[in-house]
Each structure stands twice: as structure tokens, then as C-alpha cells.
Amino acid sequence: MSSNTSAAPWQGQRPLMFEDLSEAPLVAVVIPALNEAGKVGRVLDGIPRDGRFEAIVVDDGSTDQTSDEARAHGAAVVLRHDLRAGKGVAIRDGWEEGIRRGRPYLAIIDADDQHDAADLASALDDLLARDADYLQGSRWMRGGRVVGPAGGRGFGTRVYSLAFSILAMRRVSDATNGFRILKASILKDPAIDLHQSWLTSYDLEPYVLYKAIRLGYRVVEHPVTVRYHGDGYTKMQGVRDWWRLFRPALLLRTGLKH
């Protein structure tokens, strides 16, 4: 496998595949990372060690020791973009690696220690028990938690989720939450095209969520913890990146994109 973005070739570290697929992990946990040394190790340490999860870290052109730290803390695969390609490309490459490795479920969590990786266990249990195709983490539903001062970001996520829900015609309490688990088979649907040129950044995740809802997949929410660590943790750049989050639902709803 190689990146489909010529500006972002990557170098991968790949252990041997499991010979007995009955013992292979169920879930490839994709962790897109950009300059997250000092944080990505904590995230990896928190992933449940129950045999159901393996971590794929996609280093999107970091200039620090993100890749080395990921290897040292047990990532099954570390992919590295030589140049920054965008979060969407990093997630897509990680998902494709998970599919290549034969994992039936794919997850995403952030590399900045915002999510509690331990929530993966209960989330997977919930998804399987409800026979769902896609699970969206929510800090705002009953049982969800916010740790630290959310400030304006908390308000922004609620407003965004309301707008997304209106466009998708389905209530989603926390549409910006980057904690997600989905069946890999969803990405094989011909109506979902991750390789469109406009899906390189924050657009890709809401694109897939919107598509999953509108195509009739069983989408559920699960309570998770989100930590706010203060200034300097978010990579989002104001209005530009909020627009990238918002535009997939708007463009898909109006038929301007597919």
C-alpha cells in the first residue's frame, strides 16, 4: 500500500499478519498524529489490552519524535508521511491499512490525549450488542464526560451538532467528536468515495458520518470522555477549519458534492 497523495509518501513499519485470523484483533484503531510527542504514548498506553484492538499511528509529517514514541509504546503499525498531507489523508491511509490487514472494524481516536482510549472497550461492546454499523462517541449524552474547561469550544460543538443534525435529518448530539468505530465494509460502499480532492482535512470524518446516516446504515452514539487540556492542544485553525467540518453536510445535502 502507498499513499495516494504524491506530496505525502510514507514509510511504514509492519509486523507479520496473524496466521490464525480467529485470534487477530477485531479493530484497527487509527490514530492520526501531527507533532504529538509526549502525548501519543499516553494514548497508546490507554488502549485496552484485551486482544481486540491494534493501533495504527499515521504520522502526518511531524517534526518531533511522534513516530519513535508510537513505536516505543506498542503501535502495531506506524505510517509516516514525509510531508504534511492533512488529517483526512492520514485517517484514510490508516483505514486502508486496517482493511489491508483484514480488520473488520476501524476506529479513530485523537493523538493529543483528548479521548480516553479505555472507552474503546465499552464502545465496541455497545456497537456489537446493538448490531450497529457505525458508533459515534458523545461527550454530551447521558454518561458522557467533559474534563477541564471546554470554554467556547464546548458551545461551538453543540451548535455544530445541531446544524449537522438538521442537514442529516437525524439527531447527533456530538457530531464533531473524533471518537468513532465503524464496520470496514461501510468504506467499500460505492456511494462513499474517500479519494475526492476536497476530503483531505477535517472534512473526511463528517463526510463519512453523514453518508452513513443518509445511506441507511445503523448509526448509534455512545458516551465517552473528552479532556480539554488548555491552549495549544487543538490543531484547528479558527473559522477555516470549522468550515471544513461544516461543509460536507451542507454540500452533500444540496447535491453539490457526492
Q: How many angstroms separate the CA atoms of 61 and 5, rounded?
A: 13
Please check the confidence at residue 116 and state whether its pLDDT lies above 60: yes
Whether the pTM exceeds 0.95: the reply is: no
Question: Quick one: DSSP state of residue 132?
Answer: -
What pLDDT, in 10s, does the model give residues 9-52? 434 544 434 444 557 899 999 999 999 999 999 999 999 999 99
Cell reading at 190: 460505492
Q: Which of 49, 245, 66 lies closest to 157, judged by CA?
A: 245
CB atoms closer than 10 angstroms to residue 142: 7
Q: Which of 82-91, 184-193, 239-248 has the lowest mean pLDDT?
A: 239-248
E strand map for 45-133: 53-60, 77-81, 105-108
Contacts of residue 179, Cβ cutoff 8 Å, sequence gap at least 6? 107, 108, 109, 110, 115, 119, 123, 136, 137, 224, 226
**Alpha carbon 23 to its chain's center:** 24
**What average pLDDT is seen over the chain?**
91
3-state secondary structure of 207: helix
Structural domains of the chain ordered from first start = 10-253 (3.90.550.10)
| Strand 77-81 to 10-13 pairing | antiparallel
- What is the pLDDT averaged over residues 213-222? 99
